[in-house]
Amino acid sequence: MSRRPTPLIAEFPVSGREAGPYGITCGPDGALWFTLVHHGRIGRLTPDGGVTSYQLELASGGPSVITTGPDGALWFTEFRGHRIGRITTTGTVTSFPLPTPDAGPFGITVGPDEALWFTEAGADRIGRITLDGDITEFPLPLSGAFPSAIANGPDGRLWFTMNQANAIGAIAVDGAVTVSPLPTPAGAPVGITAGADGAMWFVEIGAGRIGRITPDAAIDEFALPDRASRPHAIAADADGNCWFTEWGANRIGRITPEGRIDEHDLPGTSCEPHGITVAPDGTVWTALETGSVVRLTPR
């Protein structure tokens, strides 16, 4: 029986263990941009290992998820500061407080309208912010849902996980929301991404599963070998695969469109992999909350 080649894994220290690298994305400048959730900073890592970080106004703001905006800047959520932030590739930071108190913004993505859409985990709302900073909020039909990650879908809607409602939501640009409950109880979905197959793929941190939902709300679930691995974030590559972090098991996993799962151990123990992103060259990058960023090169 043939064996698939083992990927190359390289680790880049980017902070002390207490800073908490969390979200990560590929920037328009070819660097990796990441959040330091416990220190209120945004970091930048070049492919050759050069590290820079930028202090935000609120050191306690809890910057969480970060994405590249249509304006060539990086946009991020401040979960504890209840703000949306913007940082240019030269380090200029702008902050936009949300109108709803204790909103707890977490996930963020670019919508089909070239605005940024984000979840408000503490307020059961989905938010929209224009590049000029105008904010609109849309209430969800459920309370206590804890909307988490959000991604732009192939059907012109924004798809998001409802962690405490055990459901996947979709919102149109006019604010119309649909909710699809998950078949598995206590799945507690978190990360979500648009796959190359026209479906949305998500992780169930509570059930140790990877899920797939089509635009017409047909759901498939794929159990991980280790149900206690706590999958957290997920990102799609150009070949139709999705890569995900296993926060509770120190691994990066890959699932093919057919549902085959491969897993790869990360350096050290209890490294807490959180955010994940796929670069244009196909390398996979993940932020370890213990102070590093890891690059996985598939072979």
Residue 74's nearest CA partner among 50, 119, 43 is: 43
Query: What pLDDT, in 10s, does the model give residues 261-279?
Result: 999 999 877 899 999 999 9
pLDDT at residue number 6:
75
Active site residue 274: yes
**What residue spans of 185-225 are helical by DSSP H?**
none
Q: What six digits make up the tokens of 116?
A: 């940024």
The pTM of the whole model exceeds 0.85: yes
Catalytic, out of 82, 232, 264, 274: 274
Residues 246, 267: contact at Cβ < 8 Å?
no
Residues 10, 288: contact at Cβ < 8 Å?
no
Residue 138's nearest CA partner among 181, 12, 86, 111 is: 111
Query: What pLDDT, in 10s, does the model give residues 113-141?
Result: 999 999 999 999 999 999 999 999 999 99
Q: What is the DSSP string of 217-275?
A: --EEEEE-SSTTS-EEEEEE-TTS-EEEEETTTTEEEEE-TT--EEEEEPSSSS--EEE
Residue 198's nearest CA partner among 214, 180, 211, 220 is: 214
Q: What six digits make up the tokens of 121?
A: 């985990």
pLDDT at residue number 245:
98
- Check whether 2 has a pLDDT greater than 60: no
Query: What pLDDT, in 10s, does the model give residues 49-65?
Result: 999 999 999 999 999 99
Tell me the sheet residues that pair with 51.
45
Exposed e or buried b per residue across 120-156, where buried means at least 16 C-beta atoms within 10 angstroms of its C-beta: bbbbbbbbbbeeeeebebbebebeebbbbbbbbbbee
pLDDT at residue number 267:
86
Q: In this prediction, what percent of the chain has a pLDDT beyond 90?
A: 95
